[in-house]
Amino acid sequence: MIRLDGVGKDFGDFTAVRELSLEIPEGKTCVMVGPSGCGKTTTMRIVNRLIEPTRGTVYIDGEDYKKKKVEILRRDIGYVIQEVGLFPHRTIAENISTTPKLAGWDDKKIKKRVDELLDLVELDPDENRNKFPRQLSGGQRQRVGLARAMAADPPVMLMDEPFAAVDPITRENLQNMFLRLQRKMKKTIVFVTHDINEAIKMGDQIAILKQGELVQADTPEELLANPKNQFVADFIGVDRAIKILDLFSTDEVMWTEAPVIKKQSMQDEARKLIESGEKGIPVIVEDEQGKKFWFDLDELEKEGSLEDIIRPLEITLDPTNSIKLAMARMLEHNNDAVLIKGEEDEEPGILTLRGIRNYVYRICESSPGEKVGK
């Protein structure tokens, strides 16, 4: 766990970071994001004391980090920087073994670790071990930078715009690879970026900074749903509603208690539902073969003819899929609903376009972000 306790940094008259307190739980990724000059990189570099804080201190696992010798402290903090900073005169293997060598590991152990790490970042060890950084592509160098930072298995990692210098496709590959790794490694990570989309994708927690001050630190979901002020709303962007789609899973939005009726007697059962006062809900229709269809009760009231509005439920998704994916499938199939698989013996749920619309609108309304884009 990392706890920043009122840290601040002045460079002469200029205050880069005012007074920042933040707690990053063990095994979580905290993304610091903000416009350039907001103090995010300064804050990150305070954590490994490349910059000495003017005020405040940092506690790592409850211990004041100034008690440790600075070089020793840094060996327990993996460091990935923008444009990688690989040593051009050293081979890939030598680059990766920097920290283990400083820590005094024996050669055999280092050699094994290098191969293991190259595998981990999806580079062929035999092919790349003895190459020099110049001989690799930007994306490959970035992978080596990551491997080098993880070499001595530090519990904490600092990442300063690690994927900024590569093309969008490579960046996405690297992000996904890193998310896969982090799921296994559970490191405590401070990640700096200026890209809000990357922040939302990578972060368990997002800290938005402005002119050396922490404006809001929250989970991505909370941040999108309740931006604290206009600055945060602006920073998240006008497409906040679209970004929300990526963050919530289908089981959070689906109907779990949609009535299921038989196809043979659907006319009667539908009428009964309307008479019992049900409104605005999707209804699942099942035929003898177990094939599923659906219709919207409101639409039935308007159109009157069930035959016209009933549609097959062709798409089935997992409850963990994002609503963005669900929406994409709906658009592809020109259908307003998808079926969501039930867990174990649970009944399946149904996710409708109208449901998504209402859900996103509920999140966005009454928060300052609503004004954005008007």
Partner 1 sequence: MAITLAQFWDNLAQTYGPIFSERIPPLLIQHIQLVLMATGIAIVIGVPLGIILTRPALRKHSQKVLNVVNIGQAVPGLALIAIFLPILGIGYIPAVVALVIYGLLPIVRNTIAGLDGVDDKIKEAARGMGMYNNQVLWQIEFPLAFPIIMAGIKTSAVITVGTATLAALIGGGGLGRLIFAGISLFRPEFILAGSGTAAVLAIIIEKGLSLFEKVVVKERMPLDF
Stretch that binds partner 1, among 69-77, 182-190, 243-251, 336-344 (CB under 8 A): 69-77
As measured in angstroms, the least distance from the Cβ of 172 to partner 1 is 24
Residue (4 or 73) nearer to partner 1, CB: 73
Q: Which of 86, 147, 351, 360 lies at the binding interface for partner 1 (CB under 8 A)?
A: 86
Residue (89 or 272) nearer to partner 1, CB: 89
Residues 6-65 that bind partner 1 (CB under 8 A): 48, 50
Tokens at 79, concatenated: 């460091």
As measured in angstroms, the least distance from the Cβ of 317 to partner 1 is 43
As measured in angstroms, the least distance from the Cβ of 165 to partner 1 is 11
Residues 130-169 that bind partner 1 (CB under 8 A): 132, 134-135, 148-149, 158
Tokens at 58, concatenated: 């940092």
Residue count, binding to partner 1 (CB under 8 A): 27
Kindly give the interhelix angle for 240-247 and 323-333, rounded to the nearest 10 degrees.
100
Residue (33 or 44) nearer to partner 1, CB: 44
Distance between CA atoms of 374 and 368, rounded to whole angstroms? Answer: 12
As measured in angstroms, the least distance from the Cβ of 280 to partner 1 is 57
Q: Which of 12, 67, 71, 257 lies at the binding interface for partner 1 (CB under 8 A)?
A: 71
Any contact of residue 85 with partner 1 (CB under 8 A)? yes
Q: Which of 72, 179, 242, 328 lies at the binding interface for partner 1 (CB under 8 A)?
A: 72
Residue 265 backbone class (left: φ over 0; alpha: ψ -120 to 50; beta: rest):
alpha
Residue (149 or 360) nearer to partner 1, CB: 149
Q: Which of 4, 73, 136, 258 lies at the binding interface for partner 1 (CB under 8 A)?
A: 73
Q: What is the dihedral of CA 113, 119, 121, 125, to 10 degrees?
A: 80
Any contact of residue 113 with partner 1 (CB under 8 A)? no
As measured in angstroms, the least distance from the Cβ of 49 to partner 1 is 9
As measured in angstroms, the least distance from the Cβ of 151 to partner 1 is 9
Residue (81 or 253) nearer to partner 1, CB: 81
Q: Is the separation of the CB atoms in 201 and 169 below 8 Å?
A: no
Stretch that binds partner 1, among 59-67, 82-90, 212-220, 342-350 (CB under 8 A): 82-90
Stretch that binds partner 1, among 96-104, 232-240, 252-260, 319-327 (CB under 8 A): 96-104
As measured in angstroms, the least distance from the Cβ of 8 to partner 1 is 21
Any contact of residue 75 with partner 1 (CB under 8 A)? yes
The contact set with partner 1 (CB under 8 A) reads 48, 50, 71-75, 77, 79, 81-89, 98-99, 102, 132, 134-135, 148-149, 158
